[in-house]
Amino acid sequence: MGRTNARGEPRGIGIDGCPGGWAVVSVESAGGDTEVLTLNTAVHPDISSLWAALEPNPALDRMLIDMPIGLAEGADGVRNRAADRHCDRDCRKLLPPRRKSSVFPVPARQALYADGPSAANLAAIGRKLSRQSLNILPKIRELDEFVAEALESGLPVPAVLAECHPELCFLRLNGGEAPPHGKKEAEGLSERLGILAEAGIPREQLERLLDLFPRKQAARDDLLDAAALALTAYRISSGQSPARYVTEGERRQYDYGGRLEMNIVYV
């Protein structure tokens, strides 16, 4: 799927990091009088090629990504002086105990560009990095650089792209109940597929989605996570549900010199 929104219909796009780069799933109406939804899927090697292939339209498209947008820099920061991201704590509050750990501590921006990331993180915001955070530093850095360059060049990033969390998506799509099993387990995959099917994506399309790519390119849970984000994004872009944010009021934070909010979207 590397295609623009040629039909002029609302489109939801979900993006998740994967071994081959970025797994992308888009959800849109199948057309006509039917309410059936259709999936399109691709794996792009980097965010820039993903954006170029999709050419998102702010009037029609909503893109949600499972990767931090906006990073704390601490008291001596340049783009912000946040000591931590409120949205991570607020997202955890919405998840049951067994899923809170899926919202991992996000690194400070200084850690992305340091030879010793964990030490740089400790110096900037007072904590070392977890193994999970260290493993995805390259992905976080790639997105951070893309967003900064996009804001400078005038791409409509703030109107189109937002951060989201798959476990919160599945909980909300499932009437407030989180899947009992983890996403890496066979039972967990089946539960998440069932939630997406019940929420409107044809089961045969979801089953086909799981076999589109070799695991070394995109794991099954990466694809289902992207599909959950895409369906959430579609509900926003189509007007079915308003976008909600885990952090509200005076606790909302901004990065990139105040040009983009650090927050997590859900419906």
* DSSP secondary structure letter of residue 248: -
In sequence order, the 6+-apart residues with CB closer than 8 A to the CB of 161 are 56, 63, 64, 65, 69, 147
Mean pLDDT of 70-79: 96
Query: What is the band of 10 on the pLDDT scale with cuts at 50, 70, 90?
Result: very high
Short-list 140, 111, 104, 143, CA closest to 125? 111
pTM: 0.95
List the domain boundaries for the chain. Answer: 11-67+162-237
Mean pLDDT of 44-67: 97
pLDDT (0 to 100) of residue 5: 62
164 membership: H or E segment, kind and range: strand 161-164
Q: Say how far apart CA 12 and CA 27 lie, in whole Å.
A: 5
* DSSP secondary structure letter of residue 141: H
170 membership: H or E segment, kind and range: helix 166-173
Q: What is the mean pLDDT of the chain?
A: 94
Q: CB neighbours (10 Å) of residue 53?
A: 14
Task: Look up residue 25 and give its amino acid.
Answer: V
pLDDT (0 to 100) of residue 3: 60
Which residue has 């623009």 as its token pair? 4
Which phi and psi (to 5°) does residue 76 adopt? -100, 20
Tens digit of each residue's pLDDT (9 = 90 or more) over 128-165: 998 888 999 999 999 999 999 999 999 999 999 999 99
Query: What is the band of 30 on the pLDDT scale with cuts at 50, 70, 90?
Result: confident
Crossing angle of helices 47-54 and 137-153, rounded to 10°: 50
The C-alpha R_g of the chain, in whole angstroms, comes to 18
Lowest-confidence pick of 2-6, 40-44, 153-157, 218-222: 2-6
Q: Is a pLDDT exceeding 80 seen at residue 43? A: yes
Short-list 42, 31, 33, CA closest to 9? 31
Strand order of the sheet with strand 37-44?
37-44, 21-29, 11-18, 61-65, 161-164, 264-266, 244-245
